[in-house]
Amino acid sequence: MKTKEKIILIADDDTDQLSVMEANVKSFGFNVCSVQSQKEAEDYLEKNKPDLAIFDLMMDNKDSGFILSYKLKKKYPDVPVIIATAVTAETGLVFGLDSQNERQWIKADTYMEKGIRKDQLHKEINKLLKL
Model pLDDT for residues 57-79, shown as the tens digit of each residue: 888 878 888 889 999 999 999 99
pTM of the model: 0.86
Q: Which domains does the chain have, with CATH numbers?
A: 3-129 (3.40.50.2300)
DSSP the chain: --GGG-EEEEE-S-HHHHHHHHHHHHHTT-EEEEESSHHHHHHHHHH---SEEEEESSSSSTTHHHHHHHHHHHH-TTS-EEEEE-HHHHH-----S-SHHHHHH---SEEEESS--HHHHHHHHHHHHT-
Q: What is the pLDDT of residue 87?
A: 59
**88-116: pLDDT as tens digits:** 544 445 455 455 554 455 567 888 888 88
